[in-house]
Amino acid sequence: MSSLESAVQDKINTWLTGGYDEETKATIQTMLDDEKFTELTDAFYKDLEFGTGGLRGIMGVGSNRVNKYTFGMATQGLSNFLKKNYPDEQIKVAIAYDCRNNSDTLAKVVADVFSANGIKVYFFKELRPTPELSFAIRELGCQSGIVLTASHNPKEYNGYKAYGPDGGQFVAPFDKMVMDEVQNIASVGDVRFDGNPELIEIIGEEIDKKYLDELVKLSVSKEAITRQHDISIVFSPIHGTGGVSIPPALEAYGFTNITLVEEQMVVDGNFPTVVYPNPEEKEALSMALSKAAEIDAELVMATDPDSDRVGIAVKDLDQNWVLFNGNMTGTLIINYMLTAWRNAGKLTGKEYIVKTIVTSYLIDRIAESYEVECFNTLTGFKYIGELITKLEGKKQFIAGGEESYGYLIGEHVRDKDAVVSAVIIAEMAAYYKDQGSSLFEALLDMYVEHGFFREKLISVTKKGKAGAEEIQQMMVNFRENPPSSLGGSPVVLLKDYKSREEKNMETGVIGKINLPSANVLQFITEDGSIVSARPSGTEPKIKFYCSVNSSLMNREQYPKQLNILEEKINSIMNDLGVT
């Protein structure tokens, strides 16, 4: 790029002449002098969007970057929303942050802005997991809360997740109301940055204990843990907040043989031992797997920086380590919890589970076999949390999750919780070992009983302004020219969650989808394969979720049937032009 568009230049001039600090202005001027026009355009061509979940972006100077000004304006807008909606009471918020670079200092900016607006702030003195922030909001009777995290994004990113009084992320109509208030902050001059220390209270261990006590109550196989307490577990927080909470949670459950990946227990926002701090990636678990091989462990677990997602590895029938994807782990958890509740005589007809529309439909099939209601929501755990709050006191939530490695057991929080997930996964391993089995064998037995489902996620990255436009055009093309067949099977149903309509491709009959509008397309074939296309709301990606299934007669048939299903997924992706 050889020059700047006038709109970008105008915004840059505002930052160079407005109420921004001298260091920020000097950085912008240096970029101008060095003619870094592409970088400047990406940093200023738009405002960093405050979406339904908050903010997430690359750290740096500019209106489309994470910095104290974009976070300050977001917090001022949220403060205005809270003051309008709670005019006659002392408003309270809780703030937590993870290990990312600048999270602690940016969290202090957020606390200052809230307190400058007369809002009481409960401020975690050190990094804490996202689910504990959700718990603290509920425990302390807050009207809102913020956690600073960019989840599993690369080290250049940070983010700001906003929560409502139930401990879940804001949902309609409040999410739109918050976004409108943030949008109404015309300039950095509208932000009250000078905090009131008297309104900021430091919290820590007392909330940790209450949170941990709630997790311990969710154990359903205490006797198995007592007998198998020394099962060998390797855990890594990948430099993040899981190191604060998960080792003591495992200890509280009664596990006595936990090996930590010490190099990754070090809190470091540069994530020096991994390419990406994402437990979905095999590379991120490589050090944990090496440690597991060294000590002949039985279970490997690793969490993302804010500890709301967990990845696991187990040994297969040949004693080779394999990574479970999010669908495999989530389905196992739900199957285990339903089995435990049934065996304990606790299924009364009022229990339910929740998953998202892109998460394995094997979960629906299992729930049906237990006569437990299974709800499907849009992608995003806030919708699961919203449903739990809506049904609180009417029905009993057992467990739920989404394919992106996020699960929840129990009603103590309203977001995905890798801390409770980790202890329940460890408990599952102990339970099945006590039965003379393993997590891998339990997975195969589940497939034999309920059907063999195989899922795969393919993400296509398109960076910058041009990439965003390309992703939107891909969705337009799929809507205008949907595939007639995928993997050799006719497409019989097209679900467009944006228009909230589903079309029977054979009869042309159109039905309604009873979910909020979302930019998601779903193609369902005659043989039960499902492909969902969805632009990411937090990353410059378009995601394709593919699910295929078949029967599995016995454990021995698994490798052959797995190859057949993998080939089918590849055929479907080729038909879509996605590789």
For CA atoms 31, 37, 39, 41, give the dihedral sign.
positive
Q: How far apart are CA 285 and CA 242, in angstroms?
A: 14
Whether the Cβ atoms of residue 415 and residue 168 lie closer than 8 Å to each other: yes
The catalytically annotated residue of 63, 144, 151, 404 is 151
C-alpha torsion angle, residues 325, 330, 335, 338 (rounded to 10)? 170
Q: How far apart are CA 39 and CA 26, in angstroms?
A: 15
Whether the Cβ atoms of residue 355 and residue 374 lie closer than 8 Å to each other: yes
DSSP structure string for 30-55: HHHHTT-HHHHHHHHSSPPP-BTTEE
Whether the Cβ atoms of residue 355 and residue 330 lie closer than 8 Å to each other: yes
The string over 402-416, giving b where at least 16 C-beta atoms fall within 10 Å of a residue's C-beta and e elsewhere, is bbbbbbbbbbbbbbb
Query: Residue 506's CB: how many other CB atoms inside 10 A?
Result: 11
Greatest Cα pair distance, the chain, in angstroms, is 72
**Tokens 């909330």 sit on residue:** 207
**Tokens 């960093």 sit on residue:** 48
C-alpha to C-alpha distances, 93 to 140, 435, 452, nearest whole angstrom: 9, 46, 45
Identity of residue 170: F
Q: How far apart are CA 66 and CA 60, in angstroms?
A: 6
C-alpha torsion angle, residues 98, 104, 108, 113 (rounded to 10)? -50
Identity of residue 54: G
The DSSP secondary-structure symbol of 221 reads -
Catalytic, 79? Answer no
Q: How far apart are CA 454 and CA 232, in angstroms?
A: 28
Q: Between 37-44 and 22-33, two packed helices, what is the crossing angle to 10 degrees?
A: 140
Whether the Cβ atoms of residue 92 and residue 140 lie closer than 8 Å to each other: yes
Pairing mode of beta strands 406-409, 233-236: unpaired
Q: How far apart are CA 543 and CA 461, in angstroms?
A: 9
**Tokens 């202890």 sit on residue:** 423
Write the Ramachandran bin of 577: left for phi over 0, alpha for psi from -120 to 50, otherwise beta.
left
Q: How far apart are CA 156 and CA 154, in angstroms?
A: 6
Q: How far apart are CA 268 and CA 266, in angstroms?
A: 6
431 CB contacts (<8 Å, ≥6 apart)?
221, 224, 228, 336
Pairing mode of beta strands 299-303, 233-236: parallel
C-alpha torsion angle, residues 32, 38, 44, 46 (rounded to 10)? 160
184 CB contacts (<8 Å, ≥6 apart)?
77, 80
Whether the Cβ atoms of residue 64 and residue 47 lie closer than 8 Å to each other: yes
Mind telling me the catalytic residues? Answer: 151
